[in-house]
Amino acid sequence: MELCSIASGSSGNCICVGTDECHVLVDAGISGKRIESGLNSIDLKTEEMQGILITHEHVDHIAGLGVLARRYGLPMYATPGTIDAILHTKSVGMIDSALFHEIHPGEDFTIGDMTIEPIAISHDAAEPVAYKMKQPGKSMAVMTDLGIYDDHIVEKLKGLDVLLLEANHDVHMLQVGSYPYPLKQRILGEKGHLSNELSGRLLGEVLHDHFGTVFLGHLSKENNYAKLAYETVRLEVTMGDNPYKGDDFPMYVAKRDEPSELVRF
CATH code at position 156: 3.60.15.10
Q: Is residue 263 part of a domain?
A: no
Coil, strand or helix: which one is 15? strand
Sequence-distant (6+) residues with CB within 8 A of 126 are: 56, 57, 79, 81, 82, 84, 85
Question: 14: closest CA among 261, 265, 256, 263?
Answer: 256
Q: Look at residue 92 and tell me if it is in a domain.
A: yes
Domain that holds residue 34: 2-257
- Digit-by-digit pLDDT tens for the chain (265 residues) are 999 999 999 999 999 999 999 999 999 999 999 999 999 999 999 999 999 999 999 999 999 999 999 999 999 999 999 999 999 999 999 999 999 999 999 999 999 999 999 999 999 999 999 999 999 999 999 999 999 999 999 999 999 999 999 999 999 999 999 999 999 999 999 999 999 999 999 999 999 999 999 999 999 999 999 999 999 999 999 999 999 999 999 999 999 999 999 999 9
* Confidence (pTM): 0.97
Identify whether the C-beta of residue 116 lies closer than 8 Å to the C-beta of residue 110: yes
- 264 within some domain: no
> What CA–CA distance (Å, rounded) separates 218 from 29?
12
Residues 76, 253: Cα–Cα separation, whole Å: 27
**Could you tell me if residue 140 is inside a domain?**
yes
User: Residue 150: inside a domain, yes or no?
Assistant: yes
Residue 265 maps to a domain: no
138 located within any domain: yes
Dist CA 228 CA 40 (whole Å): 30
Structural domain tally of the chain?
1
The runs of H, that is alpha helices, within the chain are 32-40, 59-62, 65-72, 80-87, 151-157, 171-176, 181-188, 196-206, 226-239
Through-space distance between the first and last CA atoms of the chain, rounded to whole angstroms: 6
Q: Is residue 262 part of a domain?
A: no
Decide if 16 contacts 40 (C-beta within 8 A).
no
